Amino acid sequence: MLLLALALLCNLAAAALTITIPPSTHLPNPHVLPATTHATLTTLPSTNQDHILTASLTRSSTLVFRNIPSGNPESYLLDIRSSEFMFAPYRVDVAADGSILGIWETFRGNPWDNRGAEKYVVDVAGKRSADVVVEAKVLGRKGFYEERAKFSPLSLVKNPMILLAIVALVFTLGMPKLMENSMCPMPNSPSRESGLDVLIAHCAVDPEMRAEFEQQQRSSPLGGATSNAMAGGGFDLAGWMAGTAPGPMANAEGARGGATGRDAGGAARRRG
């Protein structure tokens, strides 16, 4: 009676499979794995036995399967599941007595016989070790969230549209200033005649060239368009905000063709 009770209650010291989770690039500290991390051994049952075995994560970041059922040789699929990390699936072959014959990496969506790297294989010649230890392989980490683009003034400046606008602004405001500055202060002054050479060297643009430039600018459709756009509000703000109309610079550029009529009008007015 006593012996029977003992036999009934005692756990059979069958082979144990221990999977350790080593630190890796994806998972530098395996202790951050949540408590829900678990491993399963799955196969189609040849008999109606408990055929899905589960092991929970231990404090030492290992997963231990005790009491692998014996009776029939089985080929198990070993999966390790954690909410955020993905692990490589393994193939675990078990002999009829419940001892482990071999463990290989396997590839999902590939034939079962297509085995990958060998993790463990039983030493036929030597004595059978009951406990098998293999290392799990972390494949990657799942990203659950979408990053939301943050508003920052710097990113606004990085925007090529804004950069173009700033350059344009610098040109419209800065060029006339530059022109005026570059104009020699008193080219006709007799008292400074002796220093003319210096002045010419100093001046970026000589007066003739400047006059020519001004003439050109006056007749240029770009200048006209810009001035029109500035004065008449030809820039479609709402459209630009909606992204349907091109930006201010593009508008100005686009207006090159269309603005000629206006410009002509302006010329007529000037003539009158």
Which of 2, 5, 85, 91 lies closest to 43, judged by CA? 91
What mask of x and - would describe binding to other proteins in positions 92 to 131, judged by CB under 8 A? ---------------xxxxxxx------------------
193 phi and psi, to 5 degrees?
-55, -35
Position 261 contacts other proteins (CB under 8 A): no
The helix or strand, by DSSP H or E, that contains position 160, with its residue range, turns out to be helix 160-182
- Kindly report the number of other CB atoms within 10 A of residue 24's CB atom: 14
Return the SS3 of 59.
coil
- Beta carbon nearer to other proteins, 9 or 201: 9
For residue 191, give the DSSP letter.
G
* DSSP state letter for 60: T
Q: Are 88 and 115 in contact (CB under 8 A)?
A: no
167-170: long-range pairs with CB below 8 Å, 24+: 168/248, 168/249, 168/252
Q: Which residues in 177-216 contact other proteins (CB under 8 A)?
A: none
> How far does CA 201 lie from the centroid of its chain?
53
Distance of CA 113 to the CA centre of its chain: 36
- Closer of 5 and 154 to other proteins (Cβ): 5
Residue from 25, 125, 126, 143 binding other proteins (CB under 8 A): 143
d(Cα 229, Cα 128) in Å, to the nearest integer?
89
| Least distance in angstroms from the C-beta of 21 to other proteins | 12
The 148-177 contact track toward other proteins, x by CB under 8 A, reads xx-x---------------------x--x-
Interface residue with other proteins among 227, 245, 250, 262 (CB under 8 A) is: 227
User: Is 40 or 182 the residue whose CB approaches other proteins more closely?
Assistant: 40
By CB under 8 A, tell whether 43 contacts other proteins: yes
Residue 31 vs 202, nearer CB to other proteins: 31
Query: By the criterion CB under 8 A, which residues form the site for other proteins?
Result: 1-2, 5-6, 8-9, 11, 34-36, 38, 40, 42-45, 51-52, 56-59, 67, 75, 77, 79, 81-84, 86, 89, 91, 107-113, 139-140, 142-149, 151, 173, 176, 218, 227, 230-231, 233, 237, 241, 269-270
